[in-house]
A and B are shown apart, each in its own frame.
Chain A
Amino acid sequence: MPTQELSYRDALRMALVEEIDRDQNVFVMGEDIGRYQGTFRVTEGLFQKYNVEQNDWRIIDTPIVEPGFTGIAIGAAMTGLRPVVEMMTMSFSILALDQIINHAAKIHYMTGGQSTVPMVIRGPGGAAKQLSAQHSHSLEGWYAHCPGLKVVAPATPQDAYSMFKQAVRDDNPVIFTENPGLYTIKGEVTTGPDVLQPFGKAQVLREGKDLSLVAYSRMVHVCLEVADRLAEEGISAEVVDVRSLLPLDTETIYQSVRKTNRAIVVYEDWKSGGFGAEIASRISEDCFDDLDAPVGRVGGLNVPMPYSRVLELECIPNADDVMAAVRKLG
């Protein structure tokens, strides 16, 4: 299968184009995604390619109305289409919570399995640079709290590609969160019609024996940096990329912890009540006898995201914060 170097953003776009071409029921809707080509440029060129050149209206600019277009996407998903909804930032999906949680997540269950809601809600989630308090949320933990949604947060261009294709083909509503700090990272991506990454499979990105660093999305890269620094000190850290929060692959996480006997969970979301707390709790519950130290947690500062870059950086976990947590483990 072909392999090429792609940015995370380009990998996403390639996957989106392939799925639009593969299935006539796939369409994309969101704010300024068409003529303007998207604020984070994931849909760059698509309006021209489909709507203009092929007169195939798959790329739909919507009014600024998150609950409205999410509701429309749900109704369309129930009646045969596969909408891909872009949230300009995931922070704006808060406006559409009733549609996402009361409807998309519950309809398959409430109908006794009669109806599926195959749709993807995707967009940048987490802090970018100085987008301040209302545009910097990490909401994946909220969504992973809700039965009926699938929630994924890929960290690499390969997963951006293969998990996105999976998301479009999934018969459930999928929350697909892309940390804005990841769009420009590059990596080798194997592409092809059926290069899919099934959900609920964590991956070990770096093997180690002394300590497990468990993370998802951009924090995976922070953990890889920490692993490099620890290696210089002769400490061997394993990095587990959770990548799928719901369903969650606890077995891969547990296998790592059983090997290293120490674990730190790292996440950008507010530390208190974030999804990292759920992972830490599961490890403590199910691997208690394997642990040589309490499970550590490094999370975002429990404050609204401040604007000033100096203050913002104080709130987002970095390698120094994780190193400090490693020291604390003893």
Chain B
Amino acid sequence: MQEVRGSSPLSSTTLFSIFFADACLRVAVLILNLSLGPHACKLAPPMETSQRDEQFYRSMVRMRAVETELLALSSAGQLRGSLHLAQGQEALPAGAGAALRKDDYVTATYRGHGYVLAKGGPLLPIIAEILGKAAGLGGGKGGKMHLFDLEYGILGTNGIVGAAVGTAAGAAWAAQLQKTDRVALTVCGDGALNQGHVSECMNMAVLYQLPLIILCENNLYSEMTPLSRSHGDVNLAGRAAGFGLNTAQIDGNDPEAVYQVMSEAVNRARTGGGPTFIEAATYRTIGHYQADSGIGYRTAEEVEAWRAKSPLDHWAAKLGKRAPAIAAEEQAAVRAVFEEAWALPGPDPLAAGTQVFA
């Protein structure tokens, strides 16, 4: 492994790059296939826009349906522990998930179940884990904040703000050392940018030119505290640029924009172009967790204004009369999984004492 000083030029996503990213990707695939053979660099096959529209909508509807079920269970007192929902932010996992391969790595926040869903693994073990069942991903030991699915590259959602960035940087490191073309995506919030660990990892990602993408969901609040009261400088991409990462600022409520800029970053990482930081503007239209109404530190007007920008509603409008049937299909599928998962047995109490060591 060579230590390379990062000197990557800054790039911000412009309309130009949005329109031409797909074309660039295709050219890159062509060139790589010609020069290295068909298996040397496997980029995700580009999808047609119409296919993507449906995929994004399905992904977002599925995520919302899962959250609706969880909220109902939590409100009824049937699901305990902290529940961090992401209503209003569904475009991010939908767009990012579509830009990754199954063997790419992902780490995310405690609000990161959407990315686990979007990575493509089966739904039942995910829901079973959230419900604390033996058949869950972690046998009921991880729970809502600690979802891992190694087969699909999910190296954990995480209960510690900013801590998952290191895990993803390590996976990116391994991908580089093992000479694979895998990349690692880590998802963090705006609040995480104040954690020293995130700065540490940005520095090392540039120093070692890691195939890492940091997707920062800037939803304007670090838990319940607004950016203006927690960040000396609210230009988050600017911080990353200061470390020498490639950066982009995008509308995080537009799954197509997320997909495009992610594809660009993934391609860059796969081909040795180093790490990228993406600041995505979005908003959580629900409380930070189940005990937070989401109002008080935010005005009802502000929440309503962002609700009007709901990616789900926009994509429903975009799909027109096809949308209701797709939504109904996804909701029914999620409902069925919840019913199946709910009926599953809990763990054997004695399992609490197992698996401490490998």
Contact = CB atoms under 8 A, between A and B. Distances in A.
Contacts of A114: 137-138, 148-150
Contact of A62 (B156, B163, B204): B204
B358 A57 contact: no
Nearest to B358: A171
Interface string B296-339: 00000000000000000000000000000000000000000000
B166 A72 contact: yes
Contacts, number: 145
A210 B105 CA distance: 59
Contacts of B166: 67-68, 70-72, 74-75, 99, 103
Given A98-B160, A103-B167, A150-B357, A112 B138 contact: yes
A79 B196 contact: no
A77 interface: yes
A63 B206 CA distance: 12
Contacts of A118: 358
Interface in B126-145: 136-142
A116 interface: yes
Contacts of A113: 139, 355, 358
Given A71-B170, A75-B169, A75-B174, A102 B355 contact: no
Nearest to B159: A102
Interface residues of A, number: 42
Nearest to A34: B3
Interface in B257-289: none
B interface bracket (residues with beta carbon within 8 Å of A): 35 or more
A75 B171 contact: yes
Interface in A115-165: 115-116, 118, 147-148, 150
A107 interface: yes
Which among A63, A76, A102 has the highest number of chain B CB atoms within 10 Å? A76
Given A71-B197, A112-B142, A27 B160 contact: no
Contacts of A71: 163, 165-167, 169-170, 197, 200-201
A63 B167 contact: no
Contacts of A81: 173-174, 177-178
Interface of A: 27, 57, 60-63, 65, 67-81, 98-99, 102-103, 107-116, 118, 147-148, 150, 171-172
